[in-house]
Structure 1
């Protein structure tokens, strides 16, 4: 038997990545997820991205972040589609909502692999790697020209998650917002506890939970629970910046709350 304290090999660490999402009968989505879970190269890119994030003292960019963003993206999509928001691939190409789910999932699965190369311009590096890998993965799932349309739409979503990405599709907007919604404090634990606190780590650590549910006046309601008012920065500058100006903005309502009586003191003293 292997001692639990025995360090994992590189191969074991990479192989541990396994994405789980509710396909809900979407066979194309199911096949994409299965293909990704069987691809060691993609898992290696995720692992390298996580290592680079650790080197830079950044929030988590491991396969766990990938799984969270993929699931948030699909959750947003299904709530939006249920309320009559039409995906761009349906409007512009006559495809289906299930094809839109594949676009969103593909974009989520590949959006951060460029971090395996460098943080700066990682979205563009993600495009290079996606262009080489995704078409091959989709060959058993889609014929041409649909395959190239799915790749193009997923690539638009990937590049649109950068700081000034300005997505102009529903799917691109969903990926951009889903990435921003992975904000709960578990993601920021390493930079908060190991580095000097700053507004980014403080605001991230102040986010307790994020709940996504059907809205009343709008299609989706996002409720954010904070333990400290520093979290407002994460909500406004993080999520707000990613949401404003996108086709999704009119369909989401965001409510952030804090129990003032139990507000936590995150740092005793802050010095410049």
Structure 2
């Protein structure tokens, strides 16, 4: 049995490029401070649940766990389409799930679009470090990561297994009553009440 927590990601850092990308995002000033501002907007101003660094780690670990399970039964879309290798597909899942809520730093409305805008230059910078020998692959991965970020919104259809794993994982962040934060802060609406069920 798998326990969903911020530590789950550690069991998915076996491949060198996945591990390197995770370490880069964890130590990147822009990524970490944008996630911090996502929490300011979501938790402090809107009284929503966590959308910051801990949420990013939890969702990333869950997404990679889901992706590993799915990959045992179905061919990942990026491999089927000859976009990249399995290790690279995991980098897509990792980045898409880790960066999916950056846009909350601006506003909840259209945050999936804002997340793509914010992530675009970050991905250019970080992918160059992980893939210095293959600029073309880095561009392809960036497209897939941005698709994963964009399609995490409920109304947007996922067009890849990778994006689907991240989208499903976003709903798994319920560890230790974390989704009850809005209710405890006095917010009573359908979201806070459903978190209590």
TM-score (norm. length: structure 1): 0.65
Q: How far 1:19 moved relative to its partner?
A: 9.8
CA–CA separation in structure 2 for the residues paired with 1:117 and 1:19: 28
Taking the TM superposition and a 5 Å limit, the aligned residue runs for 1:1-272 are: 20-54=9-43, 55-82=45-72, 84-93=73-82, 95-142=84-131, 143-184=134-175, 186-206=177-197
SS at match of 1:22: helix
Aligned to 1:234: none
CA–CA separation in structure 1 for the residues paired with 2:15 and 2:95: 14
CA–CA separation in structure 1 for the residues paired with 2:139 and 2:29: 23
Q: Which runs of 5+ in 2 are unaligned?
A: 1-5
Query: How many residue pairs align between the two structures?
Result: 189
Give structure 1 regions of 4+ aligned residues with deviation exceeding 3 angstroms. Answer: 17-20
CA–CA separation in structure 2 for the residues paired with 1:124 and 1:200: 22
CA distance 1:94–1:48, change in 2 (3 Å): closer
Q: How far 1:52 moved relative to its partner?
A: 0.5
Q: How far 1:60 moved relative to its partner?
A: 1.1
Q: Which has the higher helix share?
A: 2
CA distance 1:38–1:196, change in 2 (3 Å): closer
Deviations 1:37-74 (A, max 9, x none): 22111100010000111210111112111111000000
Greater RCO between the two (CA within 8 Å, min separation 6)? Answer: 2
CA–CA separation in structure 1 for the residues paired with 2:168 and 2:156: 11
CA–CA separation in structure 2 for the residues paired with 1:30 and 1:68: 16
Q: Select the structure of larger CA radius of gyration.
A: 1
SS at match of 1:140: helix
The answer (yes or no) to whether the contact 2:151–2:167 under 8 Å persists in 1 is yes
Deviations 1:134-157 (A, max 9, x none): 121011222121101110001001
Q: Which runs of 5+ in 1 are unaligned?
A: 1-16, 207-272
Aligned to 1:11: none
CA–CA separation in structure 2 for the residues paired with 1:47 and 1:161: 20
Q: Which has the higher strand share?
A: 1
CA distance 1:50–1:196, change in 2 (3 Å): closer
The answer (yes or no) to whether the contact 1:100–1:171 under 8 Å persists in 2 is yes
Aligned to 1:7: none
CA–CA separation in structure 1 for the residues paired with 2:13 and 2:30: 27
